[in-house]
Structure formats: C-alpha cells, structure tokens
Structure 1
C-alpha cells in the first residue's frame, strides 16, 4: 500500500496493528469481501479487493487518480508515535497529513517484483544456457502469487547461495576463457555507489 501522491510505501503493520481501509463514504469495505480476515488478509488479496472496489466507483477522486483511505486514528497518538513513527513522518513530510487526526490517502503499490526470467530451482534460465537469475529478477515460484511480509531476505539469501554455487561450478568445468576486466570494473562501480550512499551528506531529503 502506498500513499497518494508519490506511492511511497506505508508498512502493512498499519493494518496489522488494527488500521482500517475506508472508501469515499468512509465505509470499511474489507468487511464486504473478507469478513473473517478483513484488512489482515494477505497482501495480494487486499490489493485485489482495493482495485475491485475502486473500479466499482467507490474510490475518492483526486488530481492524482482515485484512492482509498487508510484510517489509523483510533490507534491513538502514543501507539502511532511509538510503533508507526515512520508512517507518521512520511504522511506529515510528504503529504502534509497527520495520521493521528486525519485519514491517509492510499492505493495498491508495487514494491517487489516476483520475477520475469523463468528459471528452474537452481536459477538456470530455461532455454538459455549460461544465463542465471536470482532474487526479484527470477521467477521460480518460491513465493507463489504473494511474498509473505518480511520474507524477501529468505529468497535473497537462499537463491544467492544456490545460484552462486551453480555459477561457480559451471565456470570451474568450462573451457571458456574470459577477462576479469569487465567484472572488476563493474565491481568497482558498485563499491563506489555503495560508498556514496553510506556517506554522510549535507542535504536534507525532506
């Protein structure tokens, strides 16, 4: 779920802590679709329900496109400032909205891709010898249709290990010769970029 405008992500912890999704009439519409789990349904289900409800004409129209509302006001200021402080800061700094007292405009937002390169369980791309993919680039069905919250590291660690070992084994048994120059240059660029990101700058992003 992302805020409107900007589509900056707000944690699903908002719903996990008891937040509501409301439509233009401030009706808690998830009760109409998922009576048992309500806003705690899995992310793919909640996203589909939000899109469907919007297409049914129940969203709020805005210059930035239709949106729904996230309501965490009933959680109280102490809870929000303690457990959802990042959300509060995003809303205040980027929207000018105080979620302690106001509704937050939201819509479904993509923030994790579950792959485009179809691979087997070892990370080998089908039909393309020598091509591997891992992480968000790979489509190998670890997560099915929906990645569980907080579970992206599992794919990174597991597939990074599996694919890395597979590549090393393939190279060890290969007769091909190649130069390390391109790899060294790419590694240096990445290291420089990471170093710049980790450095302390003078600019305040807000």
Structure 2
C-alpha cells in the first residue's frame, strides 16, 4: 500500500471572509510562510517518495519548502486544481445566497452534484483527480507521497476513497486546517464487504506534532 498525505495549502487573503477561491489564483497571507515552514520541517523527516502539488500558487508556494526540505523535485499536476466555482468565485456564502438563491440552495443540498453557475461539479472534480491517486499508488506501491492541494477537492476525494456519498463532504469533514496533514493507506482492502479504497489513519494532524 501507498501512504498518502494530503495537506491543504496555507491561509489565503480570502480565508477570513470565507470567500470561495476555487480556481482563482488567490495570494497567501504573510503568516502562511510559518504554516509552510512547519510542513517543510515535517517533510524533511518523513522519508517521502514524492511531493505533488496543484499548480495554483497558494498550493505550490506551500509545497515548495517541503520539497526543498525533503530534497525532492516538486511535481505539479493540473488535475489537482481546486473545484471551479464559476460565478461564485470570490463570493462569501451570504453573497452567493443573495446573487444565486436557487443555485445556492441546490449546492447546499447536494454540493457534489449541483455546481454554482458556470462552475464545475464535485463529481467532475473527483473524476479528473482520481487518476492522480491511482498513478501515484502504481508508481510508489510501498512509498509515502505528500499531495498539497485544496480543501473542497480533498474532502470530495476523501469521501470517494472511503466509500461515502460525496454530497456529504461538508457535513462529515467540515474543515481541513491549513497545512495540517491527512494520512491514508491507499489502495486498501479490508476483510469486510466495504466499498472504500482507502483507510484513514489521521486527519487535521499538525505536521510538527505528527513528526514527534
């Protein structure tokens, strides 16, 4: 099995107002350098086989110090980009509810199936990202791989990998902390008749606490 570590990028300038960043290339806040440094300190001791990042700058700039610390090349994979929220990009929930009441209501009921206007569905995001995980598991069958990406896509993928309805991602996984680690065994097959493909070993783990 491959051990996969997910880390969400550092905090962005839209984070405090809960604005939907999606595919927009939003800048990190100055304090995010400390979050990236903590991830890098862990990565330098984690015996990683590879580090892969979304191409968006908030993920790439979070991943680069980790790659340097681990003495690994940083791989950039466009399939790991965040869900595109279309006309909802840059808007906070209250603004979305006011601007697109019907679409927002559908998104709240079934967020994986009902995209915001002009946006991408969570189901489509899962379909484009899933091959990345299969390819990494094939390339590093006994390895340890860090993936630096985005909260919505990561939570959707987590539901997909453990056999849950992805429409539940916001209820089951309400938040992923910036630069915290999510650890999985993948692919994993238990003895029961269970539809999942991964086993969760930890979620929202501070990287330096994980290192100890």
Q: Structure 1 length as normaliser, TM-score?
A: 0.25
Answer 1 or 2: higher relative contact order, Cα 8 Å, separation at least 6: 2
Larger of the two Rg values belongs to structure: 1
